[in-house]
């Protein structure tokens, strides 16, 4: 081990202060989003006939990363691959190529990863994919956590649904 890494809600000042006393330093800040699914609006273009939304295994997405930011450890590909068997994945394909994907947990409403290939953005793929994911969930709310504050594209996409930030978290690290 080289370091300890944790995430803490910023409003939990007692925990933040304790971690600082233990030698942890703030390395990044994240937004988290929570929204009732009934409040979300999906005003997106319909998929083109050549696009397909299909279930994938998490392993099928290994090596596919269209994100604009470095994920937190919890939502990183390696962690997801080692993670819960409760995670599911949907992807949009074009001629057997994955051009968008979403990894989610249907029982909790958590979205672990959602990304669209750069040259396919702003075409409604992300919105249609998320709409399909929500139909596969059986929760009243959807949660997207650990979006870095500087990830303006992801924040704008979520805001268009509308899904505003619910709060902030710190990533804190203590080097050994």
> Strand 97-105 vs strand 88-94: parallel, antiparallel, or unpaired?
antiparallel
Mean pLDDT of the region 1-29: 97
> Coil, helix or strand for 48?
coil
Reported as a pLDDT band with limits 50, 70 and 90, residue 50 is very high
Tell me: the pLDDT tens digits for 6-19? Answer: 999 999 999 999 99
What was the pLDDT predicted at 154? 94
Mean pLDDT of the region 87-100: 95
Q: Is the pTM of this model over 0.85?
A: yes
Indicate the class that CATH gives domain 30-166. alpha beta
- 3-class SS string, 102-147: EEEECCCCEEEEEEECHHHCCCCHHHHHHHHHHHHCCCCEEEEEEE
CA distance 108 to 68: 25
Q: Which residues is 51 bridged to in the sheet?
A: 94
């Amino acid at each position: 081990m080289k370091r300890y890494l944790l995430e803490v809600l910023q409003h939990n000042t007692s925990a933040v202060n304790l971690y600082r006393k233990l030698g942890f330093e703030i390395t990044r800040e994240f937004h988290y989003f929570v929204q009732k699914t009934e409040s979300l609006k999906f005003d997106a273009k319909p998929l083109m006939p050549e696009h397909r939304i299909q279930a994938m295994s998490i392993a099928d997405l290994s090596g596919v990363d269209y994100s604009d930011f470095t994920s937190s450890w919890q939502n990183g590909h390696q962690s997801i691959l080692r993670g819960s068997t409760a995670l599911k994945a949907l992807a949009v394909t074009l001629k057997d190529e994955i051009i968008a994907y979403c990894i989610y947990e249907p029982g909790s409403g958590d979205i672990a990863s959602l990304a669209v290939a750069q040259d396919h953005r702003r075409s409604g793929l992300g919105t249609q994919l998320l709409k399909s994911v929500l139909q596969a969930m059986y929760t009243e709310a959807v949660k997207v956590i650990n979006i870095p504050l500087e990830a303006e594209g992801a924040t704008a996409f979520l805001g268009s649904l509308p899904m505003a930030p619910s709060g902030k978290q710190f990533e804190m690290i203590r080097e050994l």
